[in-house]
Chains A and B, each alone.
Chain A
């Protein structure tokens, strides 16, 4: 009996040791009613070969460089392969006079999504500098969104939570050890390897977005990373893990605290040391990152002894930081464009409409389409999979927008409300400001949000604590966030009359005293906690556009 038990334990340990995430199935894209663009590709009961070839040619011909006079993004090899595999399946069916099947329709959906995404994103990219009118609209949405999402409460039993099939937009989280590990599973699928202590090599400057960032490679040169600084360092990490736990594909940000990450300059790229780095980022983003720098110096033989791969860089400059975050840009994932929430009837998709509540749960503000990505993922052996990503989830967890200066600040724990919904008799009102009210969010129904609430209730206290821990906040701030997120979760379940299988106790009157100093009082952060170590500040409302008050 004892032997049997030890064999079982050994077998179990072996299973854990060899556990690797299951291949993600693509899921279905078919909608109850096909978009007209799709029916246009069908002639009677067959594919229209001419139109299919035009579509494939647009997607794969690198000489087609413009759409409506705006430049298209360069098509990557993996994407060309992916499309050609799909197109050839359809051509073969055509020449063999095979009648249309669901699998044929699935391919057409996929190709159309890529086409519209490429075209639409090229136009968005060309107009990425916001006009005054656009800025005004974002501010208007910020206010309007606080009033517009009001729903009649419906008396529905526990069992009436509707089900949604897996699709490239959402997957039922499927993790043996808990949904909070979905983020790590997705990272493994994409071959993203973040180490506890990272050394990366400067590659090039970045010019997109408003968060100061650069591109870098890890020492194996296997993965590219985007290295960033600022107020999203903690929030992006938690936001992405929560979205992944709820079933969405995400980008992969990792927080690094004091001196945990070393950035090396190889001497041949445009930026060769920390001074040039600070100057370049100040010029591009208007943000001075020098308060985030902890040390800078020359790579020594001692350092190379610790990290053998640093050998070629002995004598070159490096810099370390008080805090920063890096986001994986794996070779296996190619970004094609946005997930085009407003096209191809995508607003019909419950998983997209319900994302409104996921955003509200983490208090995300910047819900613009540009913060999504339609990707092609190489699963190995030339198997490619389409996947929709929710990116840049860091403008969350307490946001303060300053209309006059055009500035905003995120990660202000005191700005994050304790409740997600205001409940008024038979009405619930979503209390989250968003700057873009995308078509699926406009179309969201009570049932859609209830479906998402059902996903949120599967997050347990332990899961929440682990995810918050990965975000790297100082202990008092992390404790306050835990209480607030537990409270927000409870308010969501209450709004939808969902039983809580794992109630998470929370204390709205939390008080934290550290070394005799009151840091959190009655559920409120009351001091600018360790400002030197946290240059972005957890209290100051001055954001990136006002240089975090420095």
Chain B
């Protein structure tokens, strides 16, 4: 009973800390029926009153960092520099700090530095920017034969570490957050010790999950039209005013390579993720539960709470 109480208290404290500061309500699953699930996602099928629309396939490249003592891992965080290639929209670069899920309900903190192209730095005597440097890094990653060989990327990684060292005390969003949460632990010195731990690539099939007006009317007495999202609302829903966006889904297939001596050459992670997109969280959660129930029954989905970083780094360190 006491343990239960403590867990609840910790959950509420964490929720309070992260609420309103880049919080996502998402859930992740694994399954043995991955090919059936892939077929479902790619062919935009329906499940009961939920319609899906597979609209894009993206490729992500990630560079994960941690301290030599794996302080981030121990505190339940992952820190990554990411290149997101989103088809015709182009490629984008971000620097993200994410927490592990605080419960099965899927509350996850995400703090992001959303643009990296205005962060200038010097690489091999030339002026460049962080986004450009990450692009170079991931190009080398793609062309490298032995992807876990640190030598492939040594020069670039050294410039990135130099940037981290200079910016350890600067107002960079993930650093600001770490210092706020653990001021004694994440000192400038600790942040300077952050080093690349693994590099990888993910292929992601993105899909919208939507309902018709009658769904909301039947369940809640009102259509579930988002009114606050403005520019965040996908074009698909702006053009189809009778379809209401409730969930975003993604089917990920990722491979990660260690940037430290490991008995494994790489780790493969496959997972299905859903995230609430309806603006009233309490209602969004009910909708998410219902969709989850249908999908679990159909594809024998198993809930997982660990991030890709935790799943991979734990295996690579074994």
Contacts and interface: CB of A to CB of B under 8 A. Distances in A.
Contact of A53 (B119, B169, B230): B169
Contact of A81 (B115, B223, B229): B115
B241 A312 contact: yes
Contacts of A57: 171, 176
Given A311-B241, A312-B213, A312-B241, A221 B229 contact: yes
B170 interface: yes
B21 A63 contact: yes
A91 B170 contact: yes
A222 B227 CA distance: 9
Contact of A61 (B20, B171, B227): B171
Contacts of B213: 312
A56 B171 contact: yes
A85 interface: yes
A266 B238 contact: no
A394 to B, nearest CB: 27
Contact of B280 (A85, A92, A268): A268
Interface string A265-298: 0111100000000000000000000000000000
Contact of B180 (A63, A92, A95, A224): A63
A268 B224 CA distance: 8
A75 to B, nearest CB: 10
B233 A85 contact: no
A63 B17 CA distance: 9
Contacts of A201: 227
Nearest to B224: A268
Interface in B120-136: 120
B242 interface: yes
A63 B118 contact: no
Contacts of A91: 170
A293 to B, nearest CB: 23
B177 A222 contact: no
A526 to B, nearest CB: 47
Contact of B238 (A74, A220, A224): A220
A309 B113 CA distance: 36
A203 interface: yes
Contact of A217 (B115, B173, B227, B280): B227
Interface in A188-228: 201, 203, 217, 220-222, 224
Contacts of A61: 171, 176, 180
B16 interface: no
Max chain B Cβ within 10 angstroms of own Cβ: one of A81, A95, A221, A269: A221
B188 to A, nearest CB: 11
A159 to B, nearest CB: 45
A63 B241 contact: no
Given A53-B169, A268-B222, A331-B230, A81 B114 contact: yes
Contacts of B227: 201, 203, 217, 221, 266, 269
Interface in A20-70: 53, 56-57, 60-63
Contacts of B180: 61, 63
A455 interface: no
Given A92-B120, A312-B242, A268 B220 contact: yes
Contacts of A269: 227
A19 interface: no
A222 B171 contact: no
A266 B222 contact: yes
A85 B113 CA distance: 12
A224 B170 CA distance: 35
Interface residues of A, number: 35
A87 interface: yes
B89 interface: no
B159 to A, nearest CB: 14
Contacts of B221: 267
B115 to A, nearest CB: 7
Interface string B171-183: 1010011001000
Given A60-B176, A61-B180, A92-B120, A382 B115 contact: yes
A312 B280 CA distance: 18
Contact of B120 (A62, A88, A224, A266): A88
Contacts of A220: 238
Interface in B213-244: 213, 216, 220-231, 233, 238, 241-242
A267 to B, nearest CB: 4
Nearest to A56: B171
B295 interface: no
Nearest to A59: B171
A84 to B, nearest CB: 7
B225 A266 contact: yes
Contacts of A203: 227-228
B283 to A, nearest CB: 8
B166 interface: yes
Contact of B119 (A77, A88, A221, A309): A88
B242 A311 contact: yes
Contact of A312 (B115, B173, B177, B223): B223
Max chain A Cβ within 10 angstroms of own Cβ: one of B115, B171, B177, B227: B171
Contacts of B229: 221
Contacts of B220: 268
Contacts of A84: 113, 115, 118, 171
Contact of B230 (A63, A87, A222, A266): A222
A331 B231 contact: yes
Max chain A Cβ within 10 angstroms of own Cβ: one of B20, B180, B223, B238: B223
B172 to A, nearest CB: 9
A73 B233 CA distance: 24
Interface string B132-172: 00000000000000000000000000000000001001110
A238 to B, nearest CB: 30
A203 B221 CA distance: 17
Nearest to A58: B171
A241 to B, nearest CB: 27
Contacts of A80: 173
A221 B233 contact: yes
B280 A62 contact: no
20 contacts: A53-B171, A61-B171, A61-B180, A62-B21, A74-B20, A87-B171, A88-B120, A91-B170, A201-B227, A221-B227, A221-B229, A222-B230, A224-B230, A266-B222, A266-B225, A266-B227, A267-B223, A268-B224, A312-B223, A312-B225
Given A62-B21, A63-B180, A268-B224, 6 more contacts: A85-B118, A91-B170, A268-B280, A308-B241, A311-B241, A312-B241
Interface of A: 53, 56-57, 60-63, 74, 77, 80-81, 84-85, 87-88, 91-92, 95, 201, 203, 217, 220-222, 224, 266-269, 308-309, 311-312, 331, 382
